[in-house]
Amino acid sequence: MVRERGWEREEVWDYIRRIVDAECQCTAHAIGDLAVEFMVEGYERCFRESPERFRGMRHRIEHCSLVDQDLIDRMAAMNICPSINTGMIQMIGANYMTFYGERNRYMAALRNMLDAGVVCSLASDAPSGPKGIHTIDGAVNRYDRCQNVQCDRTQSVTVMEAIRAATYNGAYSSFEEHIKGSLEPGKLADMIVLSDDILAIDPMDIHTLRVDCTIIDGRVEYEREGRA
């Protein structure tokens, strides 16, 4: 059994302070609400010293899985850009419901984050969890595909909101929105072609979509065999 619970509050603050003082973008993995609270508190201590400069650094929190409205509002005030792994809902969403109970309403809280103005992105945490289209499915449908259970949909977002979180918001969080994250003249031609129109099909069928073609910098790098 692993007995290492991670850094304590002051250790997290020291880590953040060193990175912020070096004028670098900071991030760390924080899953539970206490871990996220440690990160938010550490960020706030630096934020007070130079609010505008701090906001411009787009500091991050990876996973940021369990967060209530108070933590979300505090992140929004500092322009913290969390990266959320909604694909895990496809695998263990039912487990979240069992173990977190009422608090499960705040699991992968995309709806509340977007409503608060937080620029959150979708991440796969590959190779440990579902990736690609499955993160969009998890964000929209909140359905456990492995255990065939509909999970709490309080934090569900629209298909377009999920697509933007998986593309533009991710580019924004890494200071790359000027070259990727959307299809515009002058940007990298990085894109995929799906087996159907993700905006036209029943959202519950998103998980069935296949990647027919992958284009990187304008060149076809992958084509699925047998595609129509």
67 in a domain, yes or no? yes
Q: Is the pLDDT of residue 228 over 90?
A: no
226 in a domain, yes or no? no
Q: Is the pLDDT of residue 204 over 90?
A: yes
Where residue 138 falls (left for φ over 0; alpha for ψ -120 to 50; beta otherwise) is: alpha
Q: What is the pLDDT of residue 227?
A: 77
Q: Are 130 and 86 in contact (CB under 8 A)?
A: no
Angle at 199 between CA 219 and CA 130, to 5 degrees: 70
Structure confidence by residue, pLDDT tens digits, 59-103: 999 999 999 999 999 999 999 999 999 999 999 999 999 999 999
- State the total domains in the chain: 1
56 in a domain, yes or no? yes
CATH number of the domain at 150, please. 3.20.20.140
Indicate the pLDDT class of residue 214, thresholds 50, 70 and 90: very high
How far apart are alpha carbons 15 and 17 in whole angstroms? 6
Q: What is the pLDDT of residue 1?
A: 46
Tokens of 64: 């940021």
Structure confidence by residue, pLDDT tens digits, 148-196: 999 999 999 999 999 999 999 999 999 999 999 999 999 999 999 999 9
**Mean predicted confidence (pLDDT) in 206-217:** 97
Q: What is the pLDDT of residue 5?
A: 74
Contacts of 58 (CB under 8 A, 6+ apart): 25, 79, 81, 119, 172, 173, 175
221 in a domain, yes or no? no
Structure confidence by residue, pLDDT tens digits, 40-58: 999 999 999 999 999 999 9
186 in a domain, yes or no? no
Q: What is the pLDDT of residue 6?
A: 84
Top pLDDT among 226 and 14 is at: 14
Q: Measured in Å, how far apart are the chain's first and last C-alpha atoms?
A: 49
Q: How is the beta sheet containing 219-223 ordered, strand by strand?
A: 191-194, 211-216, 219-223
3-state secondary structure string across 160-210? HHHHHHHCHHHHHHCCCCCCCCCCCCCCCCCEEEECCCCCCCCHHHHHHCC
* CA 4 vs CA 7, 38, 39, 61, 162: distances in Å: 9, 16, 18, 20, 34
Q: What is the pLDDT of residue 196?
A: 98
40 in a domain, yes or no? yes
1 in a domain, yes or no? no
Segments forming the whole domain that contains residue 164: 9-179
How far apart are alpha carbons 86 and 74 in whole angstroms? 21
Tell me if the bond preceding 127 is cis, omega within 30° of 0: yes
Q: Is the pLDDT of residue 2 over 70?
A: no
Structure confidence by residue, pLDDT tens digits, 92-110: 999 999 999 999 999 999 9
214 in a domain, yes or no? no
